[in-house]
Structure 1
Amino acid sequence: MSREYMNDLVAFVTIAREGNFTRAAGKLGVSQSALSHTLRGLEARLGLRLLTRTTRSVAPTEAGERLLKTVAPRFEEIEAELSALTALRDKPSGTVRITTGEHAANTVLWPVVERLLPAYPDIRVEITIDYSLTDIVSERYDAGVRLGEQVAKDMVAVRIGPDMQMVPVATPAYFKTHGRPVIPQDLTSHNCINLRLPTSGAIYAWEFERKGHELRVRVDGQLVFNSLSQVLAAALSGAGVGFLPSDLVRPYLEDGRLEAVLLDWCEPYPGYHLYYPSGRQNSAAFAVIVDALRYRG
């Protein structure tokens, strides 16, 4: 159907419903003469009179009544669907896809999502654990989670967690046997549990800082993992010294299963940020997730 026919049918239905050209013209936002011209054009193309006009009102002819019964319900369905879509726009719903590392997923994302979802049954959240610096645009993610210093400058970054701190830890038995390091360089003589970086494939050099002096120490040991949970498990087993986020090891420090060393060299650094492309129209569901994750500490 041509756009011209569609506009003419809308005009016809409006006139028939209102029973008056003046009211119909006001509702459509056109002049009465323009509306009369539109209807005459429709009748001319159909070769049928659709409305009977009197000085006080208009009424459908037999042909007009038949057309009204056929067309009006279709327009009502379209109007209802458009209203439903508008409501859908305002009602948070749909899937939000986020790529993140394991530690951020466990300590920042999941606690928030767990509390949020019962209140928003139409929102779905897909969290993908990926340690590489994923291109969220090409991979069709809504957002990613990275440390503040790793977020690209052309992205919108929203802080979702406090500053972080990495600390060397091991069991009391390990330190009793091998001694406690006094300076970061002492770690080179310890059996350290290394972490392989998925982005470059290199072994992570442990980073320390004290009073503005930065130091990187390349340690060695019998074990190399590519996730923090494995490093933690190995440290708890007494296999060596692990370098882990303080919030991850805090329960084990408190109950005495682990001990931390070199704390005067462990300065905090910017924590996790949610990032996403600027200038993109985001859904109501995404806005709800971002607001819930926003760090307010």
Structure 2
Amino acid sequence: MPRDDFNDLLAFIAVGRERSFTRAAARLGVSPSALSHKIRGLETRMGVRLLTRTTRSVVPTEAGERLMSTVEPQFEAIKAELEGLSEFRDTPAGTVRITAVDTVADLVIWPRIAPLLLQYPDIKIEIDTGYRLANIVEERYDIGVRSGEAIAKDMVSVRMTPDFRRVIVGAPAYFAEHPVPQTPHDLLQHNCITLRLATRGGLFAWPLVRKGQTERVQVKGQVTLNGSYQILQAALDGCGLAFTPEYLARPHVEAGRLRYVMEDWFPTSSGFHMYYPSRRQKTRAMQLVIDALRWRGGSA
């Protein structure tokens, strides 16, 4: 097979995976028009249409789906073997892709990874921050990071942080105008800062717990956001009550900028864990990253 066919097959797989010429082109570092030209050339040589193009999406045809299902695993196997050769190098090398929420990336992952990068200059790290629960196998991440209860049972899970509380907080300016809530029902009368769920699209219901009693409160308010930092800032600005991880709120509570309310209803969440498929072969670079991120007791 000519070398161009291999390159064009890789281009086709990228488009089929991303369902977009624009996103695939960005990943491959080429222009969308050049990528489209490659795919058309491949289709011409093979004599079959591989992609159905519309104004809004790109979807593999039946032939395209078959080609992806048979060829993509072979390229992945080759890639894995090439990465495996790095084990014979004197120094670890390779790229490790991680998906995590932004707060954990900032407060946990980066402080532990930075010294590793300085020690091993041939290791590369890509950290993708977001609140959507990514499929790390389909999206080609090496490691996912989420709270323990959100991890599928078929994944290898390694703890990164201790368990933590989720707390309800408000600014002094807010309480100057509103009474302090005492019960979950009281929250329905308050201006609460709501969270839009990235995966399912609905609004997050606050899961409160007291002495084994659980209440899920569907709060309402003027502001809906989709990130923990933004929710915290809205609370600091006096725009409402926030339900947020204690590790974010605590410094502001200690400084008097925020105040805990309904402390006896604060739930405890499982700490953050990294996870990866049990069948995945770990490179030396990936093992070093796992060891650097592993929780070894104490605070997060």
Give the direction of change, closer, same or farther, for the CA distance of 1:270–1:115 in structure 2 (3 Å limit).
same
Correspondence list, 1:190-269, <5 A? 190-269=190-269
How far apart in 2 are the matches of 1:259 and 1:122? 46
**Is residue 91–residue 284 contact of structure 1 (8 Å, CA) maintained in 2?**
no
Correspondence list, 1:158-197, <5 A? 158-197=158-197
Q: Secondary structure at the match of 2:198?
A: coil
Equivalent residue letter for 1:163: D
Question: Are 2:152 and 1:155 equivalent residues in the alignment?
Answer: no
Q: Secondary structure at the match of 2:256?
A: coil
Give TM-score scaled by structure 1 length: 0.69
Correspondence list, 1:99-114, <5 A? 99-114=99-114
Paired position in structure 2 for 1:139? 139
Give the direction of change, closer, same or farther, for the CA distance of 1:236–1:282 in structure 2 (3 Å limit).
same
**Is residue 148–residue 270 contact of structure 1 (8 Å, CA) maintained in 2?**
yes
How far apart in 2 are the matches of 1:86 and 1:283? 7
Paired position in structure 1 for 2:285? 285
How far apart in 2 are the matches of 1:170 and 1:114? 34
Give TM-score scaled by structure 2 length: 0.69
Give the direction of change, closer, same or farther, for the CA distance of 1:203–1:173 in structure 2 (3 Å limit).
same
Q: CA RMSD in A?
A: 1.4
Paired position in structure 1 for 2:271? 271
**Is residue 87–residue 283 contact of structure 2 (8 Å, CA) maintained in 1?**
no
Give the fraction of aligned pairs with identical amino acids, expressed as a percent. Answer: 50
Paired position in structure 2 for 1:87? 88
TM-superposed CA distance for 1:98, in Å, is: 0.4
TM-superposed CA distance for 1:85, in Å, is: 5.5
Q: Secondary structure at the match of 2:187?
A: helix
Equivalent residue letter for 1:182: Q
How far apart in 1 are the matches of 2:290 and 2:135? 19
Correspondence list, 1:20-35, <5 A? none
**Is residue 95–residue 126 contact of structure 1 (8 Å, CA) maintained in 2?**
yes
How far apart in 1 are the matches of 2:153 and 2:218? 29
TM-superposed CA distance for 1:149, in Å, is: 0.4
TM-superposed CA distance for 1:171, in Å, is: 0.6
Deviations 1:134-193 (A, max 9, x none): 111111110101110010011000011110211111111211320111112211101110
Greater shift in the superposed pair: 169-178 or 146-155? 169-178
How far apart in 2 are the matches of 1:223 and 1:85? 49
Aligned residues: 213
Q: Secondary structure at the match of 1:124?
A: strand
How far apart in 2 are the matches of 1:140 and 1:210? 40
Deviations 1:44-95 (A, max 9, x none): xxxxxxxxxxxxxxxxxxxxxxxxxxxxxxxxxxxxxxxx96532x632111
TM-superposed CA distance for 1:105, in Å, is: 1.1
How far apart in 1 are the matches of 2:110 and 2:185? 37
**Is residue 196–residue 224 contact of structure 2 (8 Å, CA) maintained in 1?**
yes
How far apart in 1 are the matches of 2:162 and 2:126? 23
Paired position in structure 1 for 2:115? 115
Paired position in structure 2 for 1:295? 295
Question: Larger C-alpha radius of gyration, 1 or 2?
Answer: 1
Equivalent residue letter for 2:171: T
How far apart in 1 are the matches of 2:250 and 2:257? 10
**Is residue 195–residue 226 contact of structure 1 (8 Å, CA) maintained in 2?**
yes
Q: Secondary structure at the match of 2:132?
A: coil
TM-superposed CA distance for 1:115, in Å, is: 2.8
How far apart in 1 are the matches of 2:154 and 2:178? 47
How far apart in 1 are the matches of 2:269 and 2:223? 26
How far apart in 1 are the matches of 2:221 and 2:150? 28
Give the direction of change, closer, same or farther, for the CA distance of 1:282–1:228 in structure 2 (3 Å limit).
same
